[in-house]
A and B are shown apart, each in its own frame.
Chain A
Amino acid sequence: MFGYTGKILHVNLTDHTLEVEEPSEQFYRDYVGGSLMGLYYLWKHTPQGVDAFDPRNTLALMTSAATGLPISGQSRCTAVCKSPTTQGVADSQAGGYWPAELKFAGFDGVVVHGASDTPVYLTIIEGDAKLHAADHLWGKTTLEVDKILQEELGDKKIEIAQIGPAGEKMARFGAIMNMSNRAWGRTGTGAVMGSKKLKAIVVRGTTKVQPADKKRLQTISRMGGKELKPSGMAAFGKYGTAGVVLPQQGDGGLPSYNWDTGVMSLEDAEMISGERLYDEILGGAADGKQKNKGRDTCFACTVRCKRVVDSEWQGNKLIPEYGGPEYETIATFGSYCGISDLHAVTYANQLCNEYGVDTISCGATISWAMECYENGVITKEETGGVELNYGNAEAMIEMLKMTLNREGFGDVLAEGSAAAADRLGKGHEYLLTIKGQELPAHMPQVKRSLGVIYAVNPFGADHQSSEHDPAYEEPYYEGTPEWTGYKRFLNQIGLDKPMHSYDLDEEKINYALTTQYTYSMADTMSVCQFVYGASWQLFGPQSMADLHSAATGWEMSVDEMQAAGRKRLNLMRAYNAREGLTRDNDTLPKKLFKKALAGGKSDGMVLDRAEFEHGLDMYYAQAGWSADTGTPTRATLEDCDLGWVADDLGL
């Protein structure tokens, strides 16, 4: 086989045994890699109905055929397990160098079974895997662990995936981190790793990944080089995802004050913008050398969208190794909380990376607490004297520290906002959660199909699971004579009827579902969704299929690629059905239907429940899922070559 290493490492932490599986070529053809392959192991090895923190929960970390090849956007890895947040599937992606290094070390994936009695860490070095005691690492923050392990193993080139103290304490939004700044952030995979007492997975290797067709790979790569500037991806690399703050403000889609409004004041939005981050906080900002000192990348990626900061907040150094905040982090700790102090937001990002938590859920939990506090639902006595008003950056940082250490009121917040509301018996009206997980920072009020995707997505609301509505709007779809519109890629997957972001009809649902399959394939091929996608990215669907073909030598068409994305989505959805989730769990927060947004372009906007429910009906019909239960039908599963799943479900 080309591309793949052909090996999966199974680690049993209960009895500390290791086993190398060499799956058949057919298995690789059928399950491709990444999320889809991880889901297969989750289904087969985790008994139905077990708790996410039960040792029988299976945690899989999976790459794919292209991972480790010298082309932009291929170094990604998916973590899959049962989620402690959603009680359905947990699924999260991270980039960096770890995914490529795992391949160089000789494995396509790692499947973790059981749980250890004492803390351990795993090394996979040049094809050789070993478990080690990790008592000395337990309680340590991410950068501390990076340094200790580099010294202990005598190699600065090792790559480390690890949990921080939050994951050890099983905070439900605990993340798995690598490079101390890249996160498998969402759905609580770090908490599950913590429940297994697995502190870290260290990888190091020098065996290069062999593609089937080097020339074809080079052709795709060269095309990417040429497109970097015209596609707008060079600017994306310059400002990072933080560059999205002001476009969101302009669109009335910057969630602010716990989603009471889609705008801040223009001055406040400018204060937390990617442009300001670039001008003032990135490394090299003082002498205009951000390009070299203020940006970082993932293995072999020319986009270089990652931030490296060099500044301070109230005497606290903003440490370059902890990276800089992404758009999502700026929104949750910034606009959600009404905070315009970008240095404080950057410090919050640093603390989250140090302790290993999902910045989206963590920041959104604090903004929920702020709305409760503003409305007298949570008192100063309960917060231990912290005045949790909107805009209070000091209070935000203080409450974040308490949350990360599970101290005082922070112990309540470490459960996430939905569980915190249950525990306190109040504040439910201010929740912004679906399936127990906090919403990311894109607003369904201004992106109607995204609302449907938030509701139906198997691992909770996700902004990286479909193309957002504006890409299908006429001017952006069409482009201008000087600027290529998004139709160049959307047409490759049959989307050619543009419409407004606020429309929600059969065609818009078709757009959402079709692009959902593309994104789903990106997570299966384990590629970065900023580089490969359906509209604004560097490479479109055809290049994605070409990449997989060049890596494996197995020719894949765009239709086949879409079908593999569909297969992964249906397997996730079937898993949720197996664990008892139904259509009833496919909701949006009540607040979005009740409270009209105030100010900006989205002033007065509120979602209409009838329109939303109709959207769901159209979605289930097009997806081939039961309108009553939201479960894929037997015919759909069989069409996805998942007849065995229909058998298991007794459909």
Chain B
Amino acid sequence: MKKYAYVGPILFLLIWAAITGFHLVNAFFLPSPVAVFGKLLKIFSDGGIFPDIFATLFRISVSFIVAAGIGLPAGLLLGGFEKAYRSLEFIIDFCRSLAPLAVFPLFMIVFGIGDASKIAVAAISSSVVIIFNVAYGVMHSKKSRILAAQIMGASRLQIFRSVIFWESLPQIFVGIRNAIAWIVLIIIAAEMFVGTNVGLGHRIIDFQITYDLPGMYAAIFLTGVLGYVLNAIFALAERRIVHWSGK
């Protein structure tokens, strides 16, 4: 089946090349693939894009570490004490539903306009996603294995460590992958605001202001690659760790 994976992208490039080749739309709005990938090559070969990639990756990584650092323990704990989770359920659901960028101006006042506010928004709003999924995974883990451990005389802590944690691992991964997607979205968007001169989001706006559309497409493409690669890494980790899934 893997070989079919190439069909879509190749078809996409062909159609794109045809549209620009036959001048079906204004070349200003849609530059040719050659122009876009030429630009991409250029910003890599002159090294101009690296600071942006590193800055964005740095913000994403720190946000993720903070989000996981808050979300995993909090989710495991809240899931383990269902009454606590039920008490906070409304708040968690509300925060989950709140558009993260709505609090960005507030965070800028509190954390300043630099990286701290961007990271704080991304980390805090995605930690809620992790908390929700992890707690859900803990609370909905299958009862039969927990019962079996209880029968063996295991303590609550032993049951949590040896059964419930593992039982909820697939759902923990759902939370982590959702969180990464959120973080990429928030960081890229936040970089378009103020307070930074580097970052892929900033680059997109920069190219837009100078009407460099091949550059803009190239930066958008890079943003996509970044999100895709991050997701692929966690998907791989999940397949490795949750080797029993679906079996």
Q: Do A and B come from one complex?
A: no
A residues contacting B by CB (< 8 A) are none
B residues contacting A by CB (< 8 A) are none
